[in-house]
A = this chain, B = another copy of it.
């Protein structure tokens, strides 16, 4: 086997191909290559956050459709520079990365006009949402699907964001209203769906996940860092709209309300790549990819 064959062989390990074909694309790579401008969207810069770490920038898209008051609270905290100089204090293996004020409880930071408590937004009325249903036998919800690019559950009357990998949530104490947005977390492992409807989710990471997932795990209970020196400083959290346009990270996201997205879902439900011997014929809500990419300069 020559070097070229080796390269191809490596590409094929664990079931990927480049999807190049003259036919209608049937692989994720092919579908994304064939997607047109209308299949992509740019997140609203007023609903997009940048978390600046020494290692780089994590980008979040917020979900005000599901948690309008909590999103507003977080945006107010961000506008007031609440998170600047705080730190990531907890990294628990296969669970969450969590940040906020390590001195929480001895209120070091003013939270300005905001209250200590905030009515929970664990779910909302299912009415009035453009809910794109995913046919799937979900372990946790009667119905699952996508709303404006976010994975969601639905029981006919209520709808909620689901705790898939990369989702952004609001830590809280025992009281349901104790999460005011000063303590935030991201899911870094297998979806902890038992948290659905028990915590307010407010968005998801759309760029830079690996800056969170590769952080050292904390050695104290629940993955908190044992010493102040281990904490990971947060230089700043900013709304994208507060960052000069030339310095923004130009992420665009594949829309989830299009035929292209439906093709993508079906291509993942029944994998067409030659590598697959026994395509599942099924798919889970947290297994559906939500493609994001950086807009190349020549696309502008």
Task: Report which A residues bind B (CB closer than 8 A).
Answer: 1-3, 5-6, 9-16, 90, 93-96, 98, 103-106, 120, 122, 136-140, 164-166, 171-174, 176, 183, 185, 189-199, 209-210, 213-217, 221-222, 224, 268, 271, 274-280, 282-287
The CA-CA distance from A205 to B1 in the complex, in Å, is 32
Asked if A183 and B13 make an inter-chain contact with CB atoms under 8 angstroms apart, the answer reads yes
Looking at chain A's contact residues, the main secondary structure is: loop
Other-chain contact of A139, B16, B137, B165 (Cβ < 8 Å): B137
Chain B residues, CB < 8 A from A215: 214
Query: Is the beta-carbon distance between B286 and A190 smaller than 8 angstroms?
Result: yes
A-B contact sample (20 more), CB < 8 A, given A13-B90, A198-B276 = A2-B106, A3-B105, A6-B104, A9-B104, A13-B171, A14-B171, A14-B199, A15-B195, A15-B198, A16-B221, A93-B210, A139-B282, A139-B284, A165-B189, A189-B189, A191-B287, A193-B280, A193-B287, A194-B283, A214-B215
Task: With A9-B105, A106-B6, A194-B271 as known contacts, state yes or no: A14 contacts B173, CB within 8 Å.
Answer: no
| Chain B hits for A286, CB < 8 A | 190
The one of B11, B183, B221 that contacts A222, using a Cβ cutoff of 8 Å: B11
User: How many Å lie between the Cα of A275 and that of B171 in the bound state?
Assistant: 11
Rounded to whole angstroms, the CA-CA distance of A185 and B14 in the bound complex is: 9
Once the chains are docked, how many angstroms separate the CA of A3 from the CA of B276?
55
Which chain B residues lie closer than 8 Å to A185 at the CB level? 14
What are 6 A-B contacts defined by CB distance under 8 Å?
A: A12-B174, A13-B171, A139-B282, A190-B286, A193-B287, A194-B279
Pair A277/B197 contact, Cβ less than 8 Å: yes
Assuming the contacts A93-B213, A137-B137, asked whether A196 and B280 have C-beta atoms less than 8 A apart, the reply is yes
Q: Check B213 against A216 for contact (C-beta < 8 Å).
A: no
Judge whether A209 and B93 touch: CB under 8 Å.
Answer: yes
A283–B194 alpha-carbon span in the complex (Å): 7
Contact B278 A198 (CB under 8 A): yes
Shortest Cβ distance from A17 into B: residue: B174
Q: How far, in Å, is A171 (CB) from chain B's closest CB?
A: 4
* Pairwise interchain contact A94-B213, C-beta atoms closer than 8 A: yes
How far, in Å, is A163 (CB) from chain B's closest CB? 10
Taking the closest CB of chain B, its distance from the CB of A57, in whole angstroms, is: 16
